[in-house]
Structure 1
Amino acid sequence: MKLLSIAIPCYNSAAYMENCIKSLLPGGNEVEILIVDDGSTKDNTAEIADRYEKEYPGICKAIHQENGGHGAAVNAGLKAATGIYFKVVDSDDWVNEQAYRQVLDTLRRFVYGKDTLDMLITNFVYEKQGARHKKVMSYKLALPKDELFSWNDVKVFVAGQYILMHSVIYRTELLRDCKLELPEHTFYVDNIFVYEPLPHVHTMYYLNVNFYRYFIGRSDQSVNEQVMIGRIDQQIRVTKLMLGYYDVTKIQNRKLRHYMVRYLEIMMVICSILAIKSGSEENMEKKKALWEELKKSNPALYLRLRWGFLGQGMNLPGKGGRSLSIAGYKIAQKFFGFN
């Protein structure tokens, strides 16, 4: 059994996937690197995956499947994982070697100790192409450092600060126990990967290191704003799925409930701002329908999200209101460094 399984979803990733794989090799025999070729046909992704499996037997494993999207690749990685812990690293991202060693040291300590760790959280860095200043998503004000803690010990997350796929390493059996299975042929499922397991997480540990390097800058990336607008239907689909997993207003732990409500709030805001920025009346109708559906299905949650600060900002009337919504979004965008 391995200490850590790392799945790398690859789709026509030949131009950059080796940088990702090489950054993970220092984990040695304690780590398995699951290179998931998700039906690549335009380049030699499959051959690269096979070569690394041959060159690093017992460490790298190539998994080939028909194209099913990012979610299907994560599902395949999770199904094949033999590690006690599980992480996803996208093929255009990489990890910092020194922080990597600290991560493995921490996981090893729990595996051989008496306490069970459900989720390890680390910082990540926005490696934005052309940006002089690299924005770090740090959790040092929100989470206790270097100690095992529960939701009751969580402090306050500031606006725009969320635990993302880049930040987390889950206990593999926890993901299987909560029957995590991401939808296929759908973008933005990384939100589901982080969100759905949360009520099953009882113990956490925050390691204040800049481990994951999140590359932003390719024009075809799913987080590119124009690409996101073009895929607004998929963003809405993921948001609806997340709204349906739990009635978060009834989650008993106050801090977990608050965090999950805030996560849904940002999902609703993203759908709304994409509709507004598209300038399309069709998309504005989709935005309206999303809010109306929430109002019918969960009135209590609707009131919390619709009349919260962000919800009000996304539902200002008229063209002037839309302009104010976009201005507020741009300020947040500049401050937090996303997209």
Structure 2
Amino acid sequence: MKLLSVAIPSYNSEEYLGRAVETLLTGGEEIEIIIVNDGSKDDTGKIADAYQEKYPTIIKAIHQENGGHGQAVNTGLKNATGLYFKVVDSDDWVNENSLKNVLKLLRKMYDEKKELDLLIANYVYENANLNKQKAIDYKSAMPIDTIFGWDDLKHFKQSQNILMHSVFYRTQLLRDCNLQLPKHTFYVDNIFVYQPLPYVKTLYYIDENFYRYYIGREDQSVNEKVMMSRIDQQIRVTKLMIESTDIFAVSSKKLRNYMLKYLSVMMMVCSVYLVKIGTKESLDKKKELWNYLKTTKPMMYNKIRHSVLGYSMHLPGHTGHAIIKIGYRISQKIIGFG
């Protein structure tokens, strides 16, 4: 039995795939590594096949036509046999000692017959340009080393959103909530850490700097210029998140508030980039997005629109747009990817 399935969506990843795989291999036979070659045009597929041949009981190499990051995650989930499911991007890696501690914990949960829906660990920004690290932990937001529920959450700082880097889901839970990420769309990791949350009843936070998130490449999806060029995909993901869940049917008030805050940040990111683009078309798209939220989920719109973030996104004129940009710069520094 595999405790943990790790999907590695891989597209033209020949330069760095090996680092991700080698760090995960330290998990031994309790881990399943699913390399999804997403129609790569370099030697990614050959590297994946070589790993599968060398480690046939640990590694699966799956080849598909290019469908984007979300489709690669879907494929990984479809082929996962582990009790828990994790996504590690091909240019990232994990801390080997933290992996051993995570597997030890998951084994304990299994042996003691404790059903854990979501395990959360820390992640570390590895900035290639600045040669510096920034660890994101949840010590002030969650109980440590114990099973807890949403109502046990504390206050989340701006930097403490639950991201794809920090989560290990129970595999069956993802299937039960019918998670299906869209093809050929960037930023679907936001759906991955949003849509399943109402299905999560039990959580556990382990204070381990597990995931190493590599940032700083100019072609990365989180690069500001790249995000502006792909703003339509960011809008699409935000709309899918709006549609995915009736937040006001969520029983836990703390989870409801967290999800509203997360969606507020998504609306802010879209709004800021549309303002920064600054064309009539982009400003019309900003207006259309807010109208979409208003007509689709009016209660959600009222909550977000009248929050501090929502209010700031509607300040008029050049002064308002300048304040929006300044606010975004501050948030970048807080969050850590700027």
TM-score of the aligned structures, taking structure 2 as reference length: 0.98
2:159–2:334 CA contact under 8 A, matched in 1: no
Deviates more, 1:206-215 or 1:156-165: 156-165
Deviates more, 1:307-316 or 1:47-56: 307-316
Say yes or no: does 1:29 pair with 2:29: yes
Letter in 1 for 2:215: I
1:265 deviates by 0.6
Letter in 2 for 1:126: Y
Letter in 2 for 1:52: Y
> Corresponding residue for 2:251?
252
> Corresponding residue for 1:17?
17
Letter in 1 for 2:3: L
> Corresponding residue for 1:135?
134
2:158–2:334 CA contact under 8 A, matched in 1: no
Say yes or no: does 1:196 pair with 2:195: yes
CA distance in 1, matches of 2:315, 2:271: 11
> Corresponding residue for 2:152?
153
Aligned residues: 338
CA distance in 2, matches of 1:269, 1:247: 20
Letter in 2 for 1:101: K
Letter in 2 for 1:216: I
CA distance in 2, matches of 1:190, 1:293: 22
1:252 deviates by 2.1
> Corresponding residue for 1:186?
185
TM-score of the aligned structures, taking structure 1 as reference length: 0.98
Structure 1 runs, 4 residues or longer, greater than 3 Å off: none
1:182–1:189 CA contact under 8 A, matched in 2: yes
> Corresponding residue for 1:100?
99
Residues 1-339 of structure 1: pairs in structure 2 closer than 5 A: 1-41=1-41, 43-339=42-338
1:132 deviates by 4.7
Counterpart secondary structure, 1:134: strand
1:94–1:214 CA contact under 8 A, matched in 2: yes
Letter in 1 for 2:32: E
Counterpart secondary structure, 2:210: strand
1:86–1:169 CA contact under 8 A, matched in 2: yes
2:174–2:196 CA contact under 8 A, matched in 1: yes
Counterpart secondary structure, 2:14: coil
CA distance in 2, matches of 1:277, 1:137: 28
Q: Deviations over 1:273-298 (max 9, x none)?
A: 11111122211110110001111222
Q: Deviations over 1:136-172 (max 9, x none)?
A: 1110000000000011111111224210000000000
Letter in 1 for 2:283: M
CA distance in 2, matches of 1:22, 1:312: 47
